[in-house]
Amino acid sequence: MALALVARWQRFWIRRRLPAPRRFRYERFGGIVQLRYPQALVFVDRARARSLGYDAPPPGLWPDTPQPADEAADGAPADAGTLHDSTRPLSAPLEAHLQLTNRCSAGCRGCYTGATSEGGPHEWGLQQWQAALDELAAAGVFHVALGGGESAELPWLGELLRHARARGLVPNLTTSGLYDDAVLERLCDWAGQGLFGQINISLDGVGADYAAVRGFDGFARADRALVALRAVHKNVGINCVLTQRSFAGLPALFAHARRRRLSEVELLRFKPAGRGARRDTYESLRCTDAQHRQLLPTALQLSRRHRVRVRVDCSFTPMLTHHKPPPELLSFLAVYGCAGGDLLVAARAGGQLAACSFAPPENTATTALRQYFHSAAAFSPFRSWPAAQEPCRSCSYLALCRGGCRVVSAHVSGDARAPDPECPRVLDYRASRPGPDPVHNVPVSQKGDAESMTQRASRQLKVLG
Ligand code: SF4
Ligand code: SF4
């Protein structure tokens, strides 16, 4: 009796010390808690889940067997320092990226969806997207990232935002800011009502850098949207697709983010998808190997100097692991690699489900997510990374990185299961072997002084030393 009272008292104090959970989702290992302050998704084991009052999992989810790190398939890699055995997908994605429309008249030369002013065929409307949100919420998805095309111009966007909120989903938005005052005013109105979580404006560089990447000068219009949205909403940031040209402009971009009092800069790798998949476009815009090796020290240095949070997208994970950060630190910071078809999914403008925004669509509608997500053939080849080739197979970050970006592998190597051909470790592995370099068909001798770049970057990276 006394012991039971002590246990209850301890649980009470644990609950008092933790911020109140907003939502909870049961998983094999325990569950995922969505916190309001700080905004975070926290993976907890079964004991912690019980202490938070969640001790009624769906039947069969918590059998009386060892914890999930012990449940990994024989010989398969499990996440170092995490609860989650990433060889098995979660019960549902954490987030879904919804391309609400493929209509956009900006005409950016590297647009990953190939958006046009006419939009795509058979695009979904409000009611279909509302049904998709119902399905995502029922599956247990926490966030939706709304993009396009240009979703901000959809007249029914406000109604969809309210629908998402009513279902407990947090809607975030990526937008170009390249529209007239009436659209911007309406967007500010929705933002002022607190309908969005995070709003990021696509800004691939400051001033002339913007035009060099996008092919037209839209900086002033995009910046006016930044100013207007920041005036009514505190979680406004920048999405920057990093290219050969824009890399050198990162200091100016971070300084601009600071000047505009923005909450974050998110750096995205240029993807060979949509118009970006044209061979000359991809080759001329993708970052060089030297830039990839410099990415982490550069981003950390600028983030610290300007006191602006920096995030990098999933496809940059090989460029982070290149600097050998402790895997536990990456897990703690929720850095994960190619999690398409598992931690995240996407939907095309016509409602087709996809592993991520850049991957080809599956032959399934988003409204059938729960049924498809657990089928054996779902999201192949995204889920085949435990059978990765060398040098991913022996890489200590495989369970986090999952072999790098499948979309880049498919485009460059012709095989979506191949190791990411732009990962520094993959390049070094191939350079150490005789014969022609299969990556980008460039002789190894012309690829630059990769080793000295690595050493230089490591010296600058004291924080991870
Ligand atoms: S293929 Fe994987 S790493 Fe590349 S963008 Fe999609 S989810 Fe991210
Ligand atoms: S070798 Fe493979 S698993 Fe390791 S960091 Fe590179 S792409 Fe990722």
User: Ligand 1 centroid vs 3 CA: distance in angstroms?
Assistant: 49
| pLDDT tens-digit series, residues 24-40 | 999 999 999 998 777 78
Q: How many other C-beta atoms are found inside a 10 Å radius of the C-beta of residue 138?
A: 12
In this predicted structure, what is the pLDDT of residue 423?
Answer: 98
Mutate to test the pocket of ligand 2, among 289, 295, 395 (most ligand atoms within 8 A of CB): 395
In this predicted structure, what is the pLDDT of residue 16?
Answer: 54
84: pLDDT strictly greater than 50:
yes
Question: Looking up tokens 């039947």, which residue turns up?
Answer: 59
CA-nearest of 353, 204, 387 to 285 is 204
User: Ligand 2 centroid vs 292 CA: distance in angstroms?
Assistant: 13
Answer yes or no: is the C-beta of 409 below 6 A from any ligand 1 atom: no
Determine which residue's CA is closest to atom 1 belonging to ligand 2.
392
| pLDDT tens-digit series, residues 308-356 | 999 999 999 999 999 999 988 888 888 889 999 999 999 999 999 999 9
Mutate to test the pocket of ligand 1, among 86, 358, 380 (most ligand atoms within 8 A of CB): 358
Q: Are 21 and 31 in contact (CB under 8 A)?
A: no
13: pLDDT strictly greater than 60:
no
* pTM for the predicted model, two decimal places: 0.85
Region for 198 from its dihedrals, namely left if φ exceeds 0, alpha if ψ lies in -120 to 50, beta otherwise:
beta
Render the burial of 79-116: b for 16+ CB within 10 Å, e for the rest. beebbbbbbbbbbbbbbbbbbbbbbbebebebbbbebe
As a whole-number percent, the residues of the chain with pLDDT over 70 amount to 84
In this predicted structure, what is the pLDDT of residue 17?
Answer: 54
Average pLDDT, the chain: 86
Half-sphere exposure of residue 296, counting CA atoms within 13 Å on the CB side? 27
| Least confident range of 111-120, 308-317, 444-453 | 444-453
457: pLDDT strictly greater than 90:
no
Question: Looking up tokens 């092919």, which residue turns up?
Answer: 215
Answer yes or no: is the C-beta of 419 below 6 A from any ligand 2 atom: yes
* Mean predicted confidence (pLDDT) in 395-400: 94
Answer yes or no: is the C-beta of 426 below 6 A from any ligand 2 atom: yes
* Mean predicted confidence (pLDDT) in 119-125: 91
Q: 453 pLDDT band (50/70/90 cuts)? A: very low
| pLDDT tens-digit series, residues 243-294 | 998 999 999 999 999 999 999 999 999 999 988 898 789 999 999 999 999 9
Answer yes or no: is the C-beta of 83 below 6 A from any ligand 2 atom: no
User: Ligand 1 centroid vs 340 CA: distance in angstroms?
Assistant: 6
438: pLDDT strictly greater than 60:
no
In this predicted structure, what is the pLDDT of residue 147?
Answer: 92
Determine which residue's CA is closest to atom 8 belonging to ligand 2.
403
450: pLDDT strictly greater than 70:
no
Answer yes or no: is the C-beta of 391 below 6 A from any ligand 2 atom: yes
Mutate to test the pocket of ligand 2, among 317, 426, 427, 432 (most ligand atoms within 8 A of CB): 426
Q: Are 282 and 297 in contact (CB under 8 A)?
A: no
User: Ligand 1 centroid vs 231 CA: distance in angstroms?
Assistant: 33
